[in-house]
Every structure is written in structure tokens, then in C-alpha cells.
Amino acid sequence: MLLRKNGIEDLQTNRVSRLCFPGSHIDVIFHRSLKKYLELQFLMMTCSIPSDAVGRRIIRNGEYGTVLYAGKVPPTTGFWLGVEWDNPEKGKHNGSHEGIQYFRCRHPTGGSFIRPSKANFGVDFLSAVKKQYGLNEDEKDAEGGTQSSLAFGSKIVETVGFDSIKEKQMQLNTLTDISVDECAVSLAGPKEEIRRACPNVKQISLSKNLLSSWKEVIAIASQVENLEILNLSQNKMKFPSTPPPASTTFCNLKTLALNQTGVTWTEVLLCATGWPALEELHLAANDISLLKRPIDGLHNLKWLNLSDNLLTDENQLLLLADLPRLETLIFSNNGISSIHFPDVEFGCKTKMFPSLTHLIIKDNRIAEWSVINELDKLQKLQSLDCRNNPLMDIEKNAATVKQLIIAKIGQLRFLNKSEITPEERKGAELDYRKKYGLDWLKAGGNQDPNKNNPSEEFLAAHPRFQLLCDKYGAPEDGELKREQPFSLKSQLLALTFKCPDRPDQKPIEKKLPESMTIQKVKGLLYRLLKIPGSELKLSYESSKVSSCSYNTEYNLSHCYCQHCTLTLLNYLIPVKDSNRNHNHNFRPCSAFF
């Protein structure tokens, strides 16, 4: 193996020197002489370590990691691999041993040293395909016969034609969709082998494998001429830092998934010039915090997934506003709290996101109604998912929040995955008009068009209110009554307790909550009269019905009387006596025992 001249700092001194190898990122630390270095290389070859081991992805016992060092670790003997694990809990240190830093980790306990024999560097693409689809040549019937047997319990059944089915399966050239997720794919394999074996493939899923560089992805994709869908999610890869050479490798690619790959937005834009037909791009969970305005690429993009990133600044979102064909934007769980389209005032439509019809902003920090007002500026927005935002908890009733959003965004057809019916929209808009009618009047609104002059502040908070007045008419005075505030007093029932068996006992008057159960009423009477609940026989009498009373132990046994509330009891009695045509409105009632 040749050495780069600038890779040897000093072979004559005792200080540590560094070597670099052509075509790899291996750094080998050696002392004093080239002889020790050559011994190290011999050890590396005998351990069957790839020449480009540093930077490669490995798997060990189901845990994924990246090799950041390969070499000796004195005072131990033999060859070691320094690995940074994706799960830092599986590591032991930060890449140092006895005071010497061999490699650096993002997490203080994310690294460890392992022997090469413990690391799986993966397999080539075609080997994984053959194994995944049961097409390995060593699985052929040794005698080449067409007859085999299957065991069902103790019975042996002879089968005919299984080999012919297997022969059909072995025709890789018929495959159009290939999925080799979690198959430890790390390499493209022999040149042109994929092209010869799988000429008709259009869709490939390579999620959670051992691909370590975009260069290896190109080596695979360049052999699949009709590739339209490619899933590379959960492959921690190194992406180009400079624009890659012009190529037709991805000229037909329409869908690309790069979730959890560690890619940055800058790297995406560098590669995007080679994706001229791309319509769908998934970039979830990549810790992306900064965006740039796409200039030379992504002009045909219709679907963009940026969920689970770190895009908290609304200005970053606006950098995507010029994508001419973007229809669906997934911006969930980014921590964003505000959205504003500064090019137009309230009540007008923005030129930003001209084709956007579906917006998903759930699991964020949106807490202001002004954000919903801004979304009404979008020209074509039809579907919104804003679940799990603080805004959704502003009102006590979730249905009220839903109504307000529907009323504020006029063209919305779906909200939080539920279709909005015409009746639901009409009801929401009418209720909105009533709910804020008094505020409208106080702000200068008037049923007389000549006197109607609501303030700018009101119109900014309720941009569609005047439009709703034009649609349904201005709210009448009778519609603008304020809702009575909740009070405990309004939720109490006046009860009178009488004891026929104790003439000396004066009636006891109490105001009890409507939600109080009969069982708790018995407990109260025990405290007042010192009579055990088991000896109490309650009857109920109401002014709503005839003078006859109802034994709660028997007449209402069907409603499990002990747990029946006073409200339910007060309702059930007139229902049972409905043939008497009495008034069933709630009135003060009495009970006796």
C-alpha cells in the first residue's frame, strides 16, 4: 500500500505520526519506525478489515455504529476498531483510552473499542436481495428434481411443481419492487451485476442498512435505469460537500426518503440538481435547523416532509414559499410557534406557497389565533392538521376550538383528518358570528352598513367576520346575549328531608349538588340523623308529578339507584309518570324517609 508524502509527519523522531491511505479515511498511529506501521497493516489484512474501514457503518448484536478508528490501542495487543454507537447508552467512553484520544464522539459515553471479529460490515446489494427473496443458489434442490415433500404433523405430503415456482422466483429480472430493509446492505457489489440481474426494478427500499456514503448509493442507483422510488431512511451517511458531477442516475426518480440519515438542507440542495423529476422528498428527524431558498433544484416538488426537525423560526419556513408546485408540507414537531405571511394584509391572499393544499403542523407550540388567521391567506389550503398544539386547549370544549378554526379558514375542507361537511361549516360560521358579535359592536360595528366601521384591531383579530356578516347578515341583538357564566349555585338542588316515623323531627332543608349520588345522600343522612344507611328506606317525591311517591330501592332499581345522581333521579320520575301530562321542568323537590 502506497503512502501519501504529506501523510508522514516524521519517521525519525519519537513523537506520534499520522498516515493517510489513498481512497480511505484510515488514520493509523505509529511510533518511531515504518516497520511498526507495516506490522500494523499486516494485522489489518489478517483480520479481514476493509481498507476503508474508518467511516464505514457496522452492526453488532443489533446495535448500529460508525467506525471512527482502526488500529492498536496500547498497552493492549492486537487490532481494535473504535466505534461510535447510534445509541450512546451502548458505549463506554468518548473515544479515549488511558489519556490518549483515539477518536471523538458526540456523546461522552457513545464510543467503545471492539475487536474486528465482532463487527459486521454488511453485504452487497444483490446478495441481500437473493437472501431476502429466497433466491440463493445454494438453496437449490441438490438433485434438481421437481418433486419434494412437506410435513404436516406426522403426515408427509409429496408436492409437485415447487421447483418450477422457485425457478420463476429466481427470475430477478421480473422484479419491479425490491425491499431489503434491515438486511445489512453496505455495498453495491460487482460492477454492472445489479443491472444484469434486475433490469426492471422501479422501486427500492434500503431502510436501516449499513450504507455509509452517498457515493455507494449512486453505485447502486446508476445500475437501475428506471428507478422511481428510493427509500434510504435510517442510513447514517456521508453526503457530498460539493456539487456532484452531472449525471442521469436519478433522472426518473420521483420519491426519495432520507429520514434519519443525518443529511443537512445544504447537502440536499447540492444533490437536488441531480433529481430533476423529484416530486416527493422525506427529510424527517435529521436535526435540520437552517434552510436555504432552493434556486437550482426541487422545482417539481409536490410533497415535502420536514417533521421532527429543529425549525423553530418562522422565517425558515418562508424560505420554502417559492416552491411553485408544493402541495403538501409536513412540518410537525419542529417547535414552531408563529407563522406570518408579510407580503399581504389580513383579509387578502398571499402569493407564497401558491399550490399548497395540505399543511400538517401538529405537535408544535402554536398558541395564538393569529396563526390560524394567517393560514387563511393561503390561496389553496384545503386540509389542515394542527393537533397537539397549545391552541387546541384554549377553550374548555374541543368542539368549540374546531368550530373557530373552521370559521376562520374559509376554504378548509378537512381539519385534523376529519371532513368538514357543508352543514358543519354553516353552523361554525353562524356560531362564530354570534360569539364575537358583541365585540364587533363594541369595536364600532353596526347592523346599519352606513354606520358599520369596526376597528383595525378587531378586523386583525377576526379577518373573516365582515365576510360572514355579508354572507349571513349582521347579527341581530337577540343573537348577542352573553352566555351565563358557570356558578356552583346554579348547579344545586333544594331538597327537604322528612321523617314520617319521627313526628318530632323537623324537616331538614339542604342544597346539594346535582351530581351527588343516592349513596352519598344516605351517608349525609347518617351523619345528620345517626341512622345507618342499611336501615334507611328512601322515597322520592317531586312537585313535577302527582303526589304519589317513588321508592328508590325498587321503582328505580333498573338504574342502579345507589349510584343514581339527583339530576338523573329528578329526570326519571316524570318520565315514569309521563302519561299524567305534568310539567317536567326542574323545580325544588323534596325527599322523605
CATH code at 39? 2.30.30.190
Among 454, 479, 504, the domain boundary falls at 479
Whether 392 maps to a domain, the answer reads no
Whether 174 maps to a domain, the answer reads yes
* Spatial separation of the C-alpha atoms in residues 102 and 246, rounded to whole Å: 37
Identify whether residues 169 and 264 lie together within a single domain. yes
Question: pLDDT higher for 10 or 439?
Answer: 439
Report CA 416 to chain centroid distance, whole Å.
Answer: 13
Identify whether residues 553 and 438 lie together within a single domain. no
Whether 403 maps to a domain, the answer reads no
Tens digits of residue pLDDT in 564-577: 555 545 544 444 44
Whether 457 maps to a domain, the answer reads yes
Question: pLDDT higher for 501 or 211?
Answer: 211
Among 93, 118, 143, the domain boundary falls at 118
Tens digits of residue pLDDT in 434-488: 999 999 999 999 999 999 999 999 999 999 999 999 999 998 887 775 555 555 5
pLDDT at residue 354 is higher than 90 = yes
Whether 323 maps to a domain, the answer reads no
Place of cell 345522600: 521
The arithmetic mean of pLDDT across residues 159-163, rounded, is: 47
Whether 218 maps to a domain, the answer reads yes
pLDDT at residue 30 is higher than 50 = no
Strands 27-30 and 111-114: unpaired
Identify whether residues 72 and 201 lie together within a single domain. no
Identify whether residues 109 and 175 lie together within a single domain. no
pLDDT at residue 419 is higher than 90 = yes
Q: Which of 169, 168, 146, 149 is nearest to 158 (CA)?
A: 149
Identify whether residues 456 and 576 lie together within a single domain. no
Query: What's the total number of domains in the chain?
Result: 4
Percent of the chain with pLDDT over 90: 61
pLDDT at residue 164 is higher than 50 = no
Q: Which of 129, 132, 138 is nearest to 189 (CA)?
A: 129
Identify whether residues 164 and 237 lie together within a single domain. yes
Please give the pLDDT value at position 370: 96
Please give the pLDDT value at position 493: 78
Please give the pLDDT value at position 498: 81
* Spatial separation of the C-alpha atoms in residues 125 and 172, rounded to whole Å: 13
* Spatial separation of the C-alpha atoms in residues 135 and 137, rounded to whole Å: 6
Residue type, 411: Q
Report CA 21 to chain centroid distance, whole Å.
Answer: 43
* Spatial separation of the C-alpha atoms in residues 230 and 204, rounded to whole Å: 5
Tens digits of residue pLDDT in 372-412: 999 999 999 999 999 999 999 988 889 999 999 999 999 99
Please give the pLDDT value at position 479: 74
Identify whether residues 130 and 271 lie together within a single domain. yes
Exposed (0-12), middle (13-18) or buried (19+): which is 91, by Cβ within 10 Å? buried
Among 118, 146, 172, the domain boundary falls at 118
Tens digits of residue pLDDT in 123-150: 999 999 999 988 765 544 433 444 444 4
Please give the pLDDT value at position 44: 58
Identify whether residues 130 and 276 lie together within a single domain. yes
Identify whether residues 279 and 164 lie together within a single domain. yes
Tens digits of residue pLDDT in 204-241: 999 999 999 999 999 999 999 999 999 999 999 999 99
Identify whether residues 174 and 96 lie together within a single domain. no
pLDDT at residue 185 is higher than 50 = yes
The arithmetic mean of pLDDT across residues 259-275, rounded, is: 97
The arithmetic mean of pLDDT across residues 549-554, rounded, is: 47
Question: pLDDT higher for 560 or 534?
Answer: 534
Identify whether residues 99 and 220 lie together within a single domain. no
* Spatial separation of the C-alpha atoms in residues 409 and 407, rounded to whole Å: 6
pLDDT at residue 363 is higher than 60 = yes
Which residues span the domain enclosing 554? Answer: 489-592
Whether 334 maps to a domain, the answer reads no
Q: What is the DSSP letter of 57?
A: E
> Is the pTM of the predicted complex or chain greater than 0.85?
no
Identify whether residues 244 and 273 lie together within a single domain. yes
CATH code at 575? 3.10.20.90
Whether 274 maps to a domain, the answer reads yes
CATH code at 176? 3.80.10.10
